[in-house]
Chains A and B, each alone.
Chain A
Amino acid sequence: EAEVAQSPRYKITEKSQAVAFWCDPISGHATLYWYRQILGQGPELLVQFQDESVVDDSQLPKDRFSAERLKGVDSTLKIQPAELGDSAMYLCASSFRTGSDEQFFGPGTRLTVL
Chain B
Amino acid sequence: DAKTTQPTSMDCAEGRAANLPCNHSTISGNEYVYWYRQIHSQGPQYIIHGLKNNETNEMASLIITEDRKSSTLILPHATLRDTAVYYCIVKFNTDKLIFGTGTRLQVFP
Q: Which residues of A contact B (CB under 8 A)?
A: 4, 33, 40-45, 48, 56, 91, 93, 98-99, 101-108
Contact = CB atoms under 8 A, between A and B. Distances in A.
A67 B42 CA distance: 22
Contact of B100 (A33, A42, A103, A107): A42
Interface string B68-109: 000000000000000000010000011011111110000000
Interface stretch (B9-17, B18-26, B44-52): B44-52
A98 B43 contact: no
B46 A41 contact: no
Contact of A106 (B43, B49, B87, B101): B43
Chain A interface mostly: loop
B46 A48 contact: no
A86 to B, nearest CB: 19
Given A105-B43, A107-B43, A56 B99 contact: no
21 contacts: A4-B43, A33-B96, A40-B101, A42-B87, A42-B100, A43-B99, A44-B99, A45-B96, A56-B96, A91-B43, A93-B43, A93-B44, A99-B93, A103-B44, A103-B46, A105-B44, A106-B43, A107-B42, A108-B41, A108-B42, A108-B43
A99 B94 contact: yes
Nearest to A3: B43
Q: Which 4 A-B pairs have the closest CB atoms?
A: A42-B99, A105-B43, A99-B94, A102-B46
A101 B69 CA distance: 21
A19 B28 CA distance: 41
Given A41-B101, A44-B99, A101 B93 contact: yes
Contact of A43 (B44, B46, B93): B44
